[in-house]
Homo-oligomer: A and B are copies of this chain.
Amino acid sequence: MRGAVVAVGTELLLGDVVNSNAAWLGNRLREAGVEVVTSTAVADDVERLAATVRLCLADADVVVLCGGLGPTVDDLTRDAVALACDAPLRRDEGLVAHLRSLFPGDLPADVFRQADVPEGAEALPNPAGSAPGLWLDKGGKVVVALPGPPRELQPTSEPVWPRLAARSGRALTTRQVLVVGLGESVVAERLAGLVVPDGVDLSYLASTGLVRVRFTSADTALLPPLVEQVEAALGDHVYGHDAETLDGVVHDLLGARDETVAVAESLTGGLLAAALSTRAGSSSTFRGGVVVYATDLKHTLAGVPSPLLHAEGAVAASTAAALAAGTRDRLGADWALATTGVAGPSEQEGKPVGTVFVAVAGPDGGRVRELSLRGDRARIREATVVAALDLLRRALLGKPDRPS
C-alpha cells in the first residue's frame, strides 16, 4: 500500500512554520504498513490543492492531508477534497449542533464551515479543537484530512491507524534499543556481524551523544532475538528501550533505591537541572542544584576549597570532583553530579573549547570523566548533559565507567 502526505498552508512554503506534521504522519503511516512515496506542502489555493490531491490519488492508495480545516476563508482543504473527489460538500446537522455546544452564543457564520462534509465522507471527532477530521473512501482508495495543530492532529488521527493497518494487512512493529556513549559509526561497526533476517528493517538514528538502533518488521516474533543480540554486543552502553529517556531511566533507578540527586553546573548553566526536572513527579528523586557560572560561586555555593580553585582552575578534574562532593553534602542528596568545562567559542584557562569534566559523588565515593567534545557551544552543552546523566546511570548500576 502506497501513501502520500499533503501539508496545507502558505506559511509552510514561506518557512514561517516547520512542517513537523509530515514527519509524524510519515512515522505513523509506516507503522500502519503504508509506504510513503511523496510528501508535499501546498499553499492555501483551492485549485492547486485539488490538483495535488488528484495527482497523489493517481500514485498512492492513501492520501493524508493536514491543515486547512479551520473556520476561516483561508481554510480550503474541505473544498479541495470535495473538488478532487467529486464529492460536493453537505452541511452535517450533527456537527452544527456540536459546534453550538462548543461555543454557546451567537456565532459568525464561518464557524459552520467546519460542519461541511464531502458527500460520502465520515467526520472524525477532534477531541482538542473544533474542526473535525475527514475520512473518505474513493474508489478503493482513501483520503484522510486532519487538523493542522499537532495537539489536534494527533488525537483526531487515532481511529485512522488501525483502519489503515487492517487494509494494508501488514502493520509494523518497531523495537528500539537506546545507546549512550558510542558514536553511530562505532555502533554500526559493533553490529556488523548481526544477521538481520528478511522482513526486518534495521536503522540507526543519532542525536547528540545518543544513538537509537531501530528494528521494524511485520513479524513481531523476529524482533526479540535481534534486540537481545544488540544488547549483548553493546553491553553497558544500552540505557533503555523504545520510548524511554535517559533522564527517566536515572529517575527510575534512583526511585527504586529511594535515593535522590542534586547537581552543580558550570558550563551547562542549568541544562542538567532542567533535564532532571522535565518529567512530572521528578521532585521525588531530584532535589535541586546550584549553577556556579561565576568561579567564586564554586567556592561559596558548592564548597570547592579556594586553594584548589586557585591551583587547578575552574576547568579541572579535581574541581569537578570537589563540586560534586560539596553539592552532595550541602544539598543533602544521596548523589550529586557536577559539570565544568569550556563551551566556547573561546578557550579558557589555556584549555581548548570542548574540554569538559563531569563528576559524580555518591555514598561510596566519586568518579570523574574527562571529555573532549566537538561542535558549537550548544552541542557541547547538550553532550555534557548526556555524559553526566550516563555517569550517574553507570554509578547507580554499579558498572565501571566507560567500558570498552
Contact = CB atoms under 8 A, between A and B. Distances in A.
A96 interface: no
A293 B269 contact: no
Most chain B CB atoms below 10 A, which of A18, A24, A277: A277
Contact of A15 (B14, B16, B25, B301): B25
Nearest to A36: B13
A197 to B, nearest CB: 20
A30 interface: yes
Contact of A290 (B15, B48, B278, B289): B289
A111 interface: no
Contacts of A48: 37
A387 interface: no
A32 B363 CA distance: 61
Contacts of A24: 15
A58 to B, nearest CB: 13
A277 to B, nearest CB: 3
Interface string A34-54: 001111111100001000000
B30 A37 contact: no
B280 A270 contact: no
A345 interface: yes
A309 B168 CA distance: 59
Contacts of A330: 300-301
A274 interface: yes
A291 B293 contact: no
Nearest to A292: B288
Contacts of A195: none
A22 interface: yes
B41 A14 contact: no
Task: Point out which of A17, A42, A288, A330 has the most chain B C-beta atoms below 10 A from its C-beta.
Answer: A288
Interface in A4-31: 5, 12-20, 22-28, 30
Given A269-B276, A273-B270, A283-B294, A18 B16 contact: no
Contacts of A296: 332
Contacts of A287: 293-294, 297
Given A269-B277, A288-B292, A293-B288, A30 B43 contact: no
Contacts of A42: 38
Interface string A180-212: 000000000000000000000001010000000
Given A18-B20, A269-B282, A270-B273, 5 more contacts: A37-B48, A269-B273, A270-B277, A287-B293, A296-B332
9 contacts: A18-B19, A22-B41, A37-B43, A38-B42, A269-B276, A277-B291, A280-B377, A283-B294, A291-B291
Interface of A: 5, 12-20, 22-28, 30, 36-43, 48, 203, 205, 263, 265, 268-278, 280, 282-283, 286-294, 296-297, 300-301, 330-332, 343-346, 377-378
